[in-house]
Structure 1
Amino acid sequence: MNSEISDTRTNETEKFTQPNIQVGIMAGTEISIELQGKYTVDGIQPPANLEASIVDHWIVLRSGQHVFAEGEEFLFLTPAPDCSFLLKGVTIGIDFHWEQKQDLQFRGSLKLMVEDGKVRAINIVPLEEYLRSVISSEMSATSSPELLKAHAVISRSWLLAQLAKSKKLKKEQPVYQTTQQSEGELIRWYDREDHALFDVCADDHCQRYQGITKIISDKANAAIDATFGEVLMSRHEICDTRFSKCCGGISENFENVWEPVLHSYLTHVADAEQDTAAGIDLRQENQADAWIRSSPPAFCNTTDQQVLAQVLPDFDQATSDFYRWQVSYTQKELSALIRKKTGIDFGQIISLEPMERGYSGRLIRLKITGTLKTMIIGKELEIRRALSESHLYSSAFVVDQLDEQEGIPQQFVLTGAGWGHGVGLCQIGAAMMGEKGYSYEQILKHYFRGAELKKRYAE
């Protein structure tokens, strides 16, 4: 492997400054807030404890029985960087198996807005301060310094790329679409374009952000300071640097997961020192079947708990079969699950048939044939949502249909590879690279081929 990423960290920082980021934390009919430090709203210092609720399409702020203020929008400002606010009952891991509520604390300003009949809480915070929390939330304090620095660069790059994309989409006509539907086929992808009132959300849908509730480690701070303002760029644009838990041995092309746009730096990469997939085309069903049922060597093919603990939070570490996994459903379970998750009654499920795969073996289009209906669905997250109460680990799977009775299988066994969409950096693979002594530049070069490391702004 080439030991150096193309590095053009030049003095190109005069035109750019660190932006403030608006992070959507939560929305609810009622939100409990604790202000810790000096905050003002329209120049007035509010009570420390407030309840925000919707009454007749207005936000009402109460402290006990006293109404402090009413309005469509409120901005809580603080001049002190160490002031913070606590939001109670924030849902994290939305729609995932670890979904739970936590009280979370944030530095910076707080904006309250009306959104679909609920109070929306938004944290306004400098980008680098946001990243300190993201790196501490996504990674463990035990992570290698090189892994943390690599993740700092891709988290920063991804966010700045999304800000640029949002500006572009607002100018485009017609309106950007994430669904392609025709008779017998539904193709949908899920990105972050639905966030109209803020830049990013605080959950795994964007990047896991838990403010200062998650202890911000000295290592995370050092990683941010060492890479301050650094991004990956390609063709004069900041790279849309995606990442997932475990690629399963080969990463996936961007266009096979999200919109049909080619990114030269987001293509399939064998996650190993040597190309273990040379000569293999996982778009071909027979080759994908053999690959998924095997356990080829890869950086992310590890059971090293020390490495896994760097990437997986406590509630994820119970998952041990992410590189290769298996899920089994009875006919009754599967038909009920698909009906519940898609809203379509297929009747009894006759078959799950791969129609198109990507370079990592992930399904892009899956044909579901039932006794009442047949439909093709995609892309990968739509497939994962249809076949699991939360999210199937990945769409890189093969199906065994067993115990057929009068043409109807009574059991379906899904054998799969990887955890997540598989595009860009593989977190477990990158953690292993860090343990093996690779630098963060080498880690970035491995996953984002042809990208250039540049300094976007200075401190």
Structure 2
Amino acid sequence: MNNIPLIHVGIQFRPEIQFTLSGDFKIGDTILTGKWKAVMEGHDIKLSNGKQELAFPTDVTLSPVHPDSDFFTLHAVTIGINFHWERDEDQSFKGGLKLLVEDKKITAINMLSVEDYLISVISSEMSATSSLELLKAHAVISRSWLLAQIQKNKSLQQKKQTYQTVHESDSEFIKWYDREDHINFDVCADDHCQRYQGITRSSTKAVVEAVKATWGEVLMFEKAICDTRFSKCCGGVVERFEHVWEPINHPYLQTFTDNDKNPAGFSLNLKNEEAAKNWMLGQPEAYCNTADKEVLSQVLNDYDQETNDFYRWTVVYTQSEISELIKERTGIDFGLIQDLIPVERGDSGRLIKLQIVGHKKTLTIGKELEIRKALSKSHLYSAAFIVQKEELKGRIKFVLKGAGWGHGVGLCQIGAAVMGAKGFAYNAILMHYFRGAELKKRY
């Protein structure tokens, strides 16, 4: 890899896409600028600005004439898809714009270099005012994750085999969510992959410095680039990769407490129900167990700060509420929910399998994101929770007591922010979360 890779990022997927070109963009010998609309006309893409119409079969690419200054804005881009902060906003991007027909809609794709992409990702995933060491650590893991996913895609395409993410029987429905649905671009721009919001989120000199200081650096294990996952808050214990995604053991994605020592007074056999209960109901010391607003503001953007009970949280449902919710979210009529029974937990206490018992149907579901989706109108904060059934005057309530925000695999962003505030260098932060990996320069 002597040259910086060029990547394709899927941004928007709609029947009609409106965009504004700030500067000159070329399609062959044609120069476009100003406000445009893209719609489908048969199998073609039609571009119009009220005065001029252009038609292209299947796809079209608009390239900036002056890459350093020209940019484009996509209008009404949805962020936080299916999460509680979902909303539309206008977003601006440097690089090229590709429009293509996909599943009877138009997909907007941003084409740019990995390093330009990283400057935005770091500012989108967290506050651009984060400490330099945290920003450098995030630059490395975002770069590593991206390049690892591109290699994985190439490998899957070469094998020409179906990538299975669902195992279904009469008694179980087990599914994990990864990147198997992206065919025409490398990564998407939302939380499904990594948040990428172009130049919309204000960057800082520190973000640019972090990317330049780690230019081309990735984490590697043996001869492969590491699949460097991360989440907002692990809840005190980092989870193993295979408990969340495909059943592959990555030696650098194992379980450990998010601390320099194990907290006293707790059993760490969190696959055990009693130990998990004590853990979820307790407040064990961990890097990510913090209420320091200055540290949290480094990781949480404005919409993330709408959530403040991430280390330990409680969600309460009446029996009728949870019955309707599960029916709506799974598409399965379980009838009145009688019980939620933990079947299997991972090393962090996150549920891998949960049995839903209704008076019409009983089914075990997993993995962690499938469980989170079934028990919330968006996504439950995490699958690390215990279930308490409370009955009062014949009425049943289900109380979920949980820990953490996200899947908990790899780097814990809030924990890493605390480590940065404590004076840890970025390579020490990386070695804490990705044990056994090596920091290497690829280009």
Instruction: Name 1:354's counterpart in structure 2.
Output: 342
Mapped to 2, the partners of 1:120 and 1:195 lie a distance apart of 11
Instruction: Name 2:332's counterpart in structure 1.
Output: 344
CA RMSD of aligned residues (A): 1.3
Mapped to 1, the partners of 2:179 and 2:271 lie a distance apart of 27
Q: Which of the residues 59, 64, 80 maps onto 1:78? A: 64
Q: CA deviation at 1:124?
A: 0.1
Between the two proteins, the alignment pairs up a number of residues equal to 441
Instruction: Name 1:282's counterpart in structure 2.
Output: 270
**Is the 8 Å Cα contact of residues 23 and 33 (structure 2) preserved in structure 1?**
no
Mapped to 1, the partners of 2:378 and 2:109 lie a distance apart of 26
Mapped to 2, the partners of 1:138 and 1:180 lie a distance apart of 32
Deviations 1:401-438 (A, max 9, x none): 111788xx621000000000000000000000000000
Instruction: Give the unaligned 5+ runs of structure 2.
Output: none
Instruction: Name 1:23's counterpart in structure 2.
Output: 9
**Is the 8 Å Cα contact of residues 247 and 418 (structure 1) preserved in structure 2?**
yes
Residue type at the aligned position of 2:439 = L
* Counterparts in 2 of 1:412 and 1:279: CA distance versus 1, 3 Å: closer
Instruction: Name 1:43's counterpart in structure 2.
Output: 29
Secondary structure at the residue paired with 1:317?
Answer: helix
Instruction: Name 1:66's counterpart in structure 2.
Output: 52
Deviations 1:266-291 (A, max 9, x none): 01121012122785210111111111
Residue type at the aligned position of 1:328 = V
Deviations 1:174-193 (A, max 9, x none): 31111111111000000111
- What TM-score do the two structures reach when normalised by structure 2? 0.97
Instruction: Give the unaligned 5+ runs of structure 1.
Output: 1-14
**2:118 matches 1:131:** yes
Secondary structure at the residue paired with 1:39?
Answer: strand
Q: CA deviation at 1:97?
A: 0.6
Residue type at the aligned position of 2:310 = F
Instruction: Name 1:164's counterpart in structure 2.
Output: 151
Residue type at the aligned position of 1:262 = N
Secondary structure at the residue paired with 2:150?
Answer: helix
Alignment of 1:391-430 (within 5 A): 391-403=379-391, 410-430=396-416
Mapped to 2, the partners of 1:94 and 1:159 lie a distance apart of 20
Secondary structure at the residue paired with 1:325?
Answer: strand
**Is the 8 Å Cα contact of residues 46 and 68 (structure 1) preserved in structure 2?**
no
**2:297 matches 1:291:** no
**Is the 8 Å Cα contact of residues 47 and 63 (structure 1) preserved in structure 2?**
no
- What TM-score do the two structures reach when normalised by structure 1? 0.94
**Is the 8 Å Cα contact of residues 22 and 33 (structure 2) preserved in structure 1?**
no
Mapped to 1, the partners of 2:263 and 2:29 lie a distance apart of 62
- The runs of at least 4 consecutive aligned structure 1 residues that moved more than 3 Å come to none
Mapped to 2, the partners of 1:16 and 1:274 lie a distance apart of 41
Residue type at the aligned position of 1:142 = T
Q: Percent identity?
A: 56
Instruction: Name 1:317's counterpart in structure 2.
Output: 305
Q: Which of the residues 422, 428, 438 maps onto 1:442? A: 428
Once the two structures are overlaid, the 10-residue window that deviates more, 48-57 or 428-437, is 48-57
* Counterparts in 2 of 1:178 and 1:405: CA distance versus 1, 3 Å: farther
* Counterparts in 2 of 1:318 and 1:145: CA distance versus 1, 3 Å: same
Deviations 1:76-105 (A, max 9, x none): 012422211011000011101111111100
Mapped to 1, the partners of 2:117 and 2:312 lie a distance apart of 34
Secondary structure at the residue paired with 2:84?
Answer: coil
Mapped to 1, the partners of 2:301 and 2:161 lie a distance apart of 41
